[in-house]
Structure 1
């Protein structure tokens, strides 16, 4: 199969042939239909976050099941599925307490001495990227890394649910538990931020403020439900939020992944408000919060994929789209071929696009 392989951080991805092993007992072979190009892929491509090389990037995808291993119970050949990279075991403390996005049980991976799921034609092992490696014509994954969905759902839109939407929407529905009339500020209007904005609208938030330096993204945010859009480059943007909200937002969502934007999320909260950090702040960076401000009762929390309960939430989000509530169409900036993946990554570096989606034939 063809795949986009990263051999060295900072270098372009190379389109080349990669071999897949046969499905193991709890593994599923998926024919990839679509894969979103996410800023998280860029973090690894540029070396901001480490990962063993060589690897096939991609972690936001949907496709059709082609084959299953002997012990697979939840999907079957022909099923349309969305994949998710935080594969869960189903039996650990996190899973049984309803937090499968935090599962790190090694039982979902192949053993150290087992044949790798991916390899080059010469037999060189290829490291699977966060349990998926979706920039490829096929994926070989654990059964708990995908969920079957309604076949009426367009797969190029379904792919977005695998990262951007479940992260942004989950931050609203699960991490923040936004109520009708609440005020929400979202920093960053990329795929995750736009999803949070759309979810805040669905939840009935009264004021939804989008903060982004790119005019085109602010326009998208307004289209997807924001009531106000502010330029992140304004020196007084925090004061603007405080004025608009009468003292600060009930909830702030950080969807960029930088120290200064995480600090901004804290600073634009009202007393007792909650800031949720979704962006991947690179190792070695810190977030500085003035100690005395904790006396205001504000809360700062992290989140993994919006605390999503994958088998429950993903079909519900699909239904929201099919019912006309969830806007995924606006998020897709372009549909591209696998050969165009490096151009899509470059657009992410410039920050001037929402979501590029790779379509596979």
Structure 2
């Protein structure tokens, strides 16, 4: 039987989220009904709200969340009613050439798994289908998602910090561990110290980097970055960050991570490298944005530039490991959640994010 749920709906972009009653369908084959407890607010959601990235309203945003399994459709394996789970937008089919090669974030069938089903998951009061972003739509009291967008977590893992595992943490840590494979004793620079950048800083610390340089324009974020493991904090507006990194590292960093999504900062990340260094683009660079790098540095100095979508993750195994790191006190998730809001106050949460006044904002939506 379908159910009515409160959800934050984006009906026009740019615009604001509106709380509406939506009719949520029952889970079909391979689908799971999840009661949402907490959901993280991400900059990619903000980019849809402010129109930076094209969206297709009406849409329920939100893709990183924690919750409790309420029901499971046919063919669901490994998930039962009552399980605590975390969502991840990099749903995978497990059968295409990328999945069988271990590169789940490049799955050829993601769009089909996320959106193609006999009927819409969500319908508004006017009878119009409402699209859940990435097939998740976490800014709601409940959601129906594909089983390959969920991973079970232990019941002693708190739900609020768990909610940011599926995007911010998986993306930042994965870029370090899987994308770049940072080595102990290396030098690392992270440009942009929001939620994902903070996770990357922690990943570099856990990986054993000896120099971790945080670059940002907001002094409060730079101060917080030191708490998460940065050994140096550079205000990008006060001096040339490229020259500053070269001076600190004695010629350039081994690894650079761009977590802003702008061509200028991508180019800076590449320029900050030592010969043989690797720059990883994690930020969402807008479509048709040209990126210019030095040809001689690329082939004579063997510098490398790569992308990393969602931390190049294998989240079914990665997230349980990150939970262990949190429970051991090595991954500081509670400190990353700087603000809490309700579903009704979700627009205020996005205003904090837009102003750069929060590392990560979590919407507390339901009870465990």
| Unaligned segments of structure 1, at least 5 residues | none
Paired residue for 1:88?
92
Alignment of 1:341-360 (within 5 A): 341-360=346-365
Shift of 1:137: 0.8
Q: How does 1:202-217 map to 2 (within 5 A)?
A: 202-217=206-221
Q: Offset at 1:107?
A: 4.4
1:318-357 matched pairs, under 5 angstroms = 318-357=323-362
CA shift for structure 1 position 172 = 0.7
**Cα deviations by residue, 1:178-214 (Å, 9 ceiling, x for unpaired):** 1110000000000000000011101100100000111
Q: How far, CA to CA, are the matches of 1:344 and 1:60 in structure 2?
A: 15
- In 1, Cα distance between equivalents of 2:349 and 2:114: 30
- 2:143 counterpart residue number: 139
Q: CA deviation at 1:344?
A: 1.5
Counterpart for residue 177 of structure 2: 173
Report deviation, 1:317.
0.5
TM-score between both structures, scaled by the size of structure 2: 0.96
**Given the alignment of the two structures, is residue 42 of structure 1 paired with residue 46 of structure 2, yes or no?**
yes
Q: Take 1:236 and 1:110, find their aligned partners in 2: how far apart are those partners?
A: 45
Structure 2, gaps ≥5 residues long? none
Q: How large is the RMSD of aligned CA atoms in angstroms?
A: 1.1
Structure 2 partner of 1:288: 292
Conserved 8 A contact 1:89-1:107: no
What do the CA deviations read for 1:88-142 (whole angstroms, capped 9, x no partner)? 0111111111111111305414537x21011112321011211211111111100
Give the 5 Å matches for 1:290-329: 290-294=294-298, 295-329=300-334
Q: Of the candidates 233, 254, 258, which is equivalent to residue 254 of structure 1?
A: 258
Task: Trace 1:271-286 onto structure 2 (pairs within 5 A).
Answer: 271-286=275-290
SS in 1 for 2:270: helix
Alpha-carbon separation, structure 1, partners of 2:237 and 2:262: 14
- Runs of 4+ in structure 1 displaced over 4 angstroms? none
Candidates 185, 192, 212, aligned match of 2:196: 192
Q: Secondary structure at the match of 1:130?
A: helix
- CA change 1:58–1:110 in 2 (3 A) is closer
When residues 171 and 110 of structure 1 are mapped into structure 2, their CA distance, relative to the original with a 3 A threshold, is closer
Q: Relative to structure 2, which stretch is displaced further, 180-189 or 347-356?
A: 347-356
Native 8 Å contact 2:114 2:134 kept in 1: no
User: 1:71-97 deviations in whole A, cap 9, x for unaligned?
Assistant: 101211100001001110111111111
1:118 aligns with 2:122: yes
Whether contact under 8 Å (2:13, 2:55) holds in the other structure is no
1:235, distance to aligned residue in structure 2 (A): 3.6
Structure 1 residue matching 2:352: 3-state secondary structure: helix
| Alignment pair present for 1:60 and 2:64 | yes
CA distance in 1, matches of 2:233, 2:54: 34
In terms of mean alpha carbon deviation, does 98-107 or 51-60 score higher? 98-107
